[in-house]
Amino acid sequence: MARSLRFLFIIVVVLALIAIAGYLLIDREHLLAIASDRLEAETGARLTVRGDVSLTLFPRLSLALGDATLQAPDGGPELRAGSLGIGLAVMPLLSGRAEIDRLYLENAEVTTVADPATARAAAADTTVGLSDAELDAFYAARRSARKAGASGIEVLALPLALDVGELSLRNIRLRTVDAAGNTLSEVQLKRFSARGVNTAGRETPLQLLLSIPRGTGEAPLELIADGRLRTDLNAGRVSLPALSVTVSGATAEPLQLELSGEVNLNRSVGDFEVDFAVADTQGQGTVRYAQYESPRIDATLDLNRFTPALLVLAGPDAAAAEPASDGRLPYDTLRSLDTAARLTIDEVQLGPHRLTAVRATLRAMEGNVALSGVSGALHGGTIGLEATLNARYAPATLEARGAVSALALGSALEALESPVAASGTASLTWDVNSRGDDSEALLRALTGPVTLRTDAVTVKNISVQRDFCRMVALANGDQLTEPFPADTAFEMLEADLTLGGGQARLERLAATLPGIALGGRGNLALLDGDFTATLGGRLQPALGELDPACAVDERLTALTFPVVCEGNLSGKPKDWCALDTEAVISDALKNEAREKLQKKAGKLLNRLFDNN
């Protein structure tokens, strides 16, 4: 009996399918009208078909449409499809209703005609070279563009307003054009698929592959996503329980992101928890994206080290911008940012220097990038600074002020690969400004004061006291007998510098060590490291405690021993400085009676200098 019933059921189903097929084959236009009305009722988009309409029964009942156009509501973007397939549920058709259980779109183009403000903001492929007035118009246009209507990306979100079993989009080109049809920007949606799409808040698995073309010869920025979402249209909310994203092309290594959060559709605001990794950099935090607010990106992030890949979190404009080369400032990237961030970073590498336990607050908008509350540890000391780089116009201006306390000199000089070796600590303060279009110009144009104060500094492999004592021993007609330390230990060492004209001018140097006081002035070329300096050494009686032959009398304490220094910071320190004997003789003549010196000068000064 059971076998008979099953057989009877199969017969009924087959007959029903044949009847449905006959009905559909006879009136495909009617079926298309039903499906089109259903699509418009649920999404507001109007479907127009100019090409052929074909029907397939297996493996599912579906309509295939050629040369189809989908027009978003309220004059929004237009979608023109090479192939559009609509799968229909069978049972509702028996009662004259259409329920779409599959939507397939391939080889399509979505075109958005930008309003005048958006067109002006996107018309230039670079902001470099624009005048101040043109840049003001650019910023104003971009602010207005934020308030524009739907974009190409939003028209692709229309199918998420459906209740559909399967959604598949492939090879979709998203273009924004001006009124004349010129392309302003382009995004390529290579693949998007979702199953169980619904508007009642049930989870929908999805996959996505997005590509953003870049400059000629540059690899595109690509985004691959795999995860789940829940759409609740009644609440105006889309939730992301979990979304894995891989971004490649922004940096040498792909950026891996794990996202979860919620999007408020009514306000176009998304709040996300983020975990990310790129190469050996990892981090986590929160990111808020607000389409119509400023800042557009608001982030709080903890990471183990800084990476330029974080620009991806600042938006596609910043991430896709072509990186500057040869030290040029990345004007387009800086001007595209509208970001606020609070950063905690375990490690930041600044050239040869490693900062740890870094905290910083950043605000970037329309080319003006401000860093405040920056703190961290540097070579055993602490650093605090604030800086503003204003690249709103060109050339950019820089203002920076800050201080480093208790910096370990040995570690800092080693990081710089300096030929000078030293120990002790140093403290620096600076208040400088500059202007320029690249790092070299900014360095050349630096102006402002820098102060240096030190504690317990010892310079390795240079014995200043021994060199001076050799001179004194010659003047005394004696020879040194005691060993001298190979290093120079300063009791005090401080300097005041002024930056300007590509030079660091040593306005004041004051240094003391047992038996000697030094002072002087000099100049250092910031770009090539060449320097000159003239120092004056005054001897003190304590110098004689180092060796009996180094006893200093009033005759010698009255003299100033000029030391002339010149060279390059990359050279050998022992070759940098030498005593100026002619200046010593001149000073001696001023401090001794001429008639006495006429009798003794030959003997005294020959001993002092002839054997030097």
Count of positions (residues) in the chain:
612
The whole-number pLDDT of residue 12 equals: 41
The whole-number pLDDT of residue 164 equals: 77
Q: Which residues pair with 565 in a beta bridge?
A: 533, 577
pTM here is 0.76
The whole-number pLDDT of residue 572 equals: 81
- Exposed, middle or buried by CB within 10 Å (0-12, 13-18, 19+), for 596? exposed
For residue range 18-43, list pLDDT tens digits in order.
445 544 444 566 666 766 776 677 66
Domain locations in the chain?
A: 31-197, 199-323, 461-610
Show the tokens assigned to 24: 């559909």
User: In whole angstroms, how far apart are CA 509 and each of 367, 453, 493, 503?
Assistant: 39, 10, 8, 16
Rounded to whole angstroms, the Cα distance separating 166 from 263 reads 22
Q: Which residues pair with 86 in a beta bridge?
A: 63, 103
DSSP run (H or E) holding 58 = none
Show the tokens assigned to 605: 């000064």
Rounded to whole angstroms, the Cα distance separating 470 from 521 reads 25
Show the tokens assigned to 312: 């991806």
DSSP run (H or E) holding 197 = strand 183-197
Three-state DSSP class for residue 325: coil
Rounded to whole angstroms, the Cα distance separating 249 from 319 reads 9
- pLDDT beneath 50: ranges in the chain: 1-19, 22-26, 149-153, 155-156, 593-595, 597-599, 601-602, 605, 609, 611-612
DSSP annotation of 610: I
Three-state DSSP class for residue 366: coil
Rounded to whole angstroms, the Cα distance separating 436 from 415 reads 27
User: In whole angstroms, how far apart are CA 516 and each of 230, 426, 465, 507, 573?
Assistant: 78, 21, 8, 20, 20
297 with 311: CB under 8 angstroms? no
Rounded to whole angstroms, the Cα distance separating 42 from 380 reads 64
532 with 565: CB under 8 angstroms? yes
Question: Looking at beta carbons, which pairs linking 117-121 to residues 24 or more positions away fall under 8 Å?
Answer: 117/141, 117/142, 117/144, 117/145, 117/148, 118/144, 118/145, 118/148, 118/176, 118/184, 119/178, 119/179, 119/184, 121/145
The whole-number pLDDT of residue 457 equals: 92
- Tell me, what amino acid is at 560? T
